[in-house]
Amino acid sequence: MARAGFRINASLKGDAALRLALAALAAKAPRDMERALELEGDIELEEMVERTPVLAGDLRRTAQRFPAEWKGRHLSVLIRMGGPDAPYAIKQHMNRHYRHPRGGQDRYMSSVVRESRKFMAHRVGRRLDIV
C-alpha cells in the first residue's frame, strides 16, 4: 500500500482576496492529492498484474484499486487481488518455490511496492506540480 503526505503551516496578513484564494486552494488540495495517488496506484496495479503468474488468468482478473482514503493525516490507496474468485492468491504470492512457465513471479504485489516506495512521494508530487 503506497502512502504519501505532507503538512503546510502558513500565516497570512493582507489582501482578503488572496486569503480567499488560498483558502479555496487549501480546500481543494486533499482531493487533488487523492486523485494523484489514485493515478499512481493505477500504474502500480498495472505492474502488479503484469507480474502476476498466469494459468487461466483468474488471479489477474481479481485485481482492483480502491479509492484513496484518509486516516488522520495519512493518505493511502488499497490494491487487492484474490478473494472468493482466487482464494489461493496469498499462497501464490508468498511461495517462492512455485514455477511460472507461462509468465509471472512470486511476490508479484510486494515487489512492486518495494521497488516504488522511494519514488512514490516524488511521483505524486509531480502530479500535483509541487516538485
Tell me the per-residue pLDDT of 6-59, one tens digit each, with 9 for 90 and over: 566 666 566 787 777 777 877 888 999 999 999 999 999 999 999 999 987 899
So what's the pLDDT on residue 21?
75
Provide the whole-model pTM. Answer: 0.80
Three-state secondary-structure class, residue 111:
helix
- Specify whether the CB–CB gap between 63 and 49 falls below 8 A: yes
pLDDT band at 68 (very low <50, low <70, confident <90, very high): very high
Higher pLDDT, 3 or 43: 43
The DSSP output letter for 30 is H
So what's the pLDDT on residue 32?
93
So what's the pLDDT on residue 45?
97
- Specify whether the CB–CB gap between 104 and 93 falls below 8 A: no
So what's the pLDDT on residue 22?
73
Higher pLDDT, 102 or 9: 102
Decide if pLDDT at 4 tops 80.
no
Per-residue pLDDT of 105-116, as tens digits, reads 999 999 999 999
So what's the pLDDT on residue 119?
94
- For the chain, report the end-to-end CA distance as a whole number of angstroms: 22
What are 24's three cell numbers? 479555496
Q: Which residue has cell 500500500?
A: 1
